[in-house]
Structure 1
């Protein structure tokens, strides 16, 4: 029997701005499930809560805004979490995407959205 180890929190981070300028505390919306560290998240316009950023949609979360720093369980309730939202470099190969981000073009679009907020992938 083989077991898969969970990705360590923060292991995707290469560098960030001094102090805590790259970080912010956000709310991950209930119903998001267990969300792994390094998941690309978007912000819902109405609720201002974050969810894994899907490839398409109309609630604002379809635009990638940040990368989740620590794994959280938002299955049944909102959870406060830390994200990297600006001025940082992350390991592209370690990022986790919503299941609808399922091909190279959609991944490239998410990476461009992250770049627009100051998150550079290497």
Structure 2
């Protein structure tokens, strides 16, 4: 018997949004970033999107949203993030491997300030 494995999709991550025209923004992912659907992102001083880095001082220490698709940016690449008024499933949110629970809690608070709620069990 052959098993088919399907990767995560936006429906696994996004459980509610006011309107895609309101909740999402088009952004530019910085060259060299390999972001998976659901990755929490920040914006550097050059307005480039990168994975959140809680110890950075270039702006990427602040969570501003979550990427809506897999993006492997071999050059600066246009993409879309969920940036306001949405509910996300915690199991589909992607965090940096080295993030601490304290840093994750701070990032969740930053997202909540934008109206992005991360829920367990949805």
**TM-score range with shorter-chain normalisation?**
0.7 to 0.9
From 80, 103, 120, the counterpart of 1:106: 103
Moved over 3 A (4+): 3-6
In structure 2, stretches of 5+ residues that fail to align are none
Query: Which residue number corresponds to residue 72 of structure 1?
Result: 71
In structure 1, stretches of 5+ residues that fail to align are none
Distance 1:121 1:6 in 2: 20
Does residue 86 in structure 1 map to residue 84 in structure 2? Answer: yes
Does residue 96 in structure 1 map to residue 94 in structure 2? Answer: yes
Query: Alpha-carbon deviation of 1:99?
Result: 2.4
User: How many residues are paired up?
Assistant: 117
Query: Which residue number corresponds to residue 37 of structure 1?
Result: 37
- With structure 1 as the length reference, what TM-score do the two structures score? 0.87
Distance 1:59 1:104 in 2: 21
Query: Alpha-carbon deviation of 1:10?
Result: 4.3
Query: Which residue number corresponds to residue 58 of structure 2?
Result: 59
Distance 1:4 1:113 in 2: 33
**Contact 2:27 2:78 (8 Å CA) reproduced:** yes
Query: Alpha-carbon deviation of 1:18?
Result: 2.6
Distance 2:14 2:40 in 1: 13
Distance 1:85 1:57 in 2: 20
Distance 1:68 1:88 in 2: 13
Structure in which a larger fraction of residues adopt helix: 2
Distance 2:43 2:50 in 1: 7
